[in-house]
Chains A and B, each alone.
Chain A
Amino acid sequence: MKSLRQHTSLWLSLGAIILIGAWPLVTGSALSRETMFTVLRSVALASSLNILLGYTGYVSFGHVVFFGLGGYVGFYLIAAQGWNLWPAMLMGGLAAGLLAYLVGAAILRLRGAYFALATIGINEAVRAFINNFEPFGGPTGMTLNFKLYKVYGGPGAALQLSFYIMIGLTLLVVLLSYWVRVSKFGLGLLAIREDEDAAEIMGVTAPSAKTWAFVLSAIIPGMIGTVFFFKNGTIEPGLAFPLHTSIEMIVMIMLGGQGTVFGPILGAAGYEALRDYLLVSPLFKNLQLAISGILLLLIVLFIPRGLVGWLRQRYAKVRRWLI
């Protein structure tokens, strides 16, 4: 009974993703599939970043760099080297993980605002590098020859496949996020978040724990990058490294509840629903990012723990099953 209740959050999270994923299959509409693809992408990106931001307490403002780099590496392998999507996607994830490992060793010793600033710097540096890297097409980027989609049964089938992969990756992120949250490794991360010096004195090997948290939070965004740009058919630096996407990821996590498994899912879905509404509303369509900014401000001021965090704090009973 206890273990069932302990897993409630996992079932809730997986259930929510399956619902989001199944909706377009039920309606059969391509439009709703595109919408849900975006929602799933946001859920997966936010849940990945949450491993670093929510569990470990390190705010990465440039997390989109892993999405972009993974996208570029995977895209290059597919478009220029003729690789299949699956191994290319793995390489995209590995490239992102490797970048996180190397960068993490250098900048994870920074704390608070200094770390956040450094992550923005990394994003801009990688973008600038790719802008000047000829094999990746420099500033104009690369495009996919549409004939390549034949391998997957034509463009329509390739889109459908991308959607299924996105569901799979999102489920994977949530399983990973949950595993980290309830593992000994995750307990160490939470201790680092609360008080890093005290955690080290209690024996948490903070440098390696932080590095692995960073790597885990980077791999799946890298894989998502490959799938996203495979489906998109074209990639360029402006699309791959948009800083505002990093900030939106943070808004989603903060909205739903940092440091919880279900929070980023709720936050990402809620944020996407809001954005959908704002984009089609004649009054707000040009103000969408301004609204996100105001939203972040309001959350930080009034419910800094996010929706799930607020529920957990308010109701002791909820704390027992909702994480």
Chain B
Amino acid sequence: MILQVQGVTKRFGGLQALTKVTFDLPEGQILGLIGPNGAGKTTLFNVIDGVYTPEEGRIIFLGEDVTGKKPYYLAHKGLARTHQIVRPLNELTVRENIMVGACFGHANADLGEAANIADEVMEFVGLSDKAELLAGSLNVAQKKRLEMARAVAARPKLLLLDEVLAGLNPSEIAKMVDTVLAIRDRGITIIMIEHVMSAIMNVSDRILVLDFGKLIAEGTPEEIAQNEKVIQAYLGDPKLAERLMQGD
């Protein structure tokens, strides 16, 4: 197991953001994480990578209990992530942004190696022609690719992708999905949060469903698609409309 999440609970004041979330992630898989808005998906990422410390429960990454460790500690150990709302280092160039990932992440490269890694990763995600542009001047799709490139440049063992497909048009989505699969083929384990159902159903080996901070379902994409609780969480009670129609 590359990652074990054991009984994680996170509260913000009175709000119960995560309740006793437990799951294991074997190496080499793509794990899809879905759920309605506000279900706690991004909070779960923030707990895994050390931005938040959970009130209860433990995070075990590569066999080590990393609960409460700082984000940079986890990054050095082999974790990388992208953000739902992109966070480019605006005044640095695209190349420099990616070099930050390579220098300070698990790759721990020096500047020369980092430049080589950056060139390779830019080629990989299709940003080579933007290398010398300031990151702030990219459009949203390019910024999402940049987030991905920075994370991949760190040579992580586990990659957390937070809605990398949101806001992209269909052809951009297709390109991005190919990139995600190519990253998996490099042997990097992935957890991805996604709202684009067709994409997540296609790429995930397994899917977790969060609703109001609780894990309500877990299984293969086929199992999830037919799970009644999941349909209810997304669409409401399927029988409700029927009952209303009958004037019940």
Query: A: which residues have CB within 8 A of B?
Result: 182-184, 187-188, 190-191, 193-195, 197-206, 259, 316, 319
Q: In the complex, are the beta carbons of B92 and A203 less than 8 A apart?
A: no
Query: B: which residues have CB within 8 A of A?
Result: 49, 51, 70-72, 75-76, 80-81, 83, 87, 89-92, 96, 99-101, 103-106, 110-111, 114, 132, 150, 154
9 contacts between A and B (CB under 8 A): A184-B114, A193-B91, A200-B70, A202-B75, A202-B80, A202-B150, A203-B71, A203-B106, A204-B100
Q: In the complex, are the beta carbons of B92 and A191 less than 8 A apart?
A: yes
Closest Cβ of chain B: how far from A296's Cβ, in Å? 21
**Which residue from chain B places its CB closest to the CB of A199 in the assembled complex?**
B100
Given A197-B51, A202-B75; A188-B103 close (CB under 8 Å): yes
Q: In the complex, are the beta carbons of A201 and B89 less than 8 A apart?
A: no
Report how far A259 CA is from B92 CA in the complex, Å: 11
Q: In the complex, are the beta carbons of A188 and B81 less than 8 A apart?
A: no
Report how far A204 CA is from B81 CA in the complex, Å: 14
Given A187-B100, A187-B103, A187-B111; A200-B72 close (CB under 8 Å): yes
Residues of B within 8 A of A194 (CB): 89-92
Q: Out of B70, B87, B96, which one reaches A198, CB within 8 Å?
A: B87
Nearest first, the 4 A-B pairs at minimum CB distance are A203-B75, A203-B104, A194-B89, A198-B87
Given A187-B99, A316-B132; A202-B104 close (CB under 8 Å): yes
Q: In the complex, are the beta carbons of B154 and A203 less than 8 A apart?
A: yes
Closest Cβ of chain A: how far from B185's Cβ, in Å? 23
Q: In the complex, are the beta carbons of B100 and A202 less than 8 A apart?
A: yes
Q: In the complex, are the beta carbons of B100 and A191 less than 8 A apart?
A: yes
Report how far A200 CA is from B101 CA in the complex, Å: 10
Report how far A200 CA is from B96 CA in the complex, Å: 16
Closest Cβ of chain A: how far from B148's Cβ, in Å? 13
Residues of B within 8 A of A184 (CB): 103, 110-111, 114
Report how far A184 CA is from B49 CA in the complex, Å: 23
**Which residue from chain A places its CB closest to the CB of B81 in the assembled complex?**
A201
Closest Cβ of chain B: how far from A188's Cβ, in Å? 6
**Which residue from chain B places its CB closest to the CB of A194 in the assembled complex?**
B89
Given A184-B110, A184-B111, A187-B99; A203-B89 close (CB under 8 Å): no
Closest Cβ of chain A: how far from B163's Cβ, in Å? 16
Q: Out of A195, A203, A319, which one reaches B105, CB within 8 Å?
A: A203
Q: In the complex, are the beta carbons of B51 and A204 less than 8 A apart?
A: no
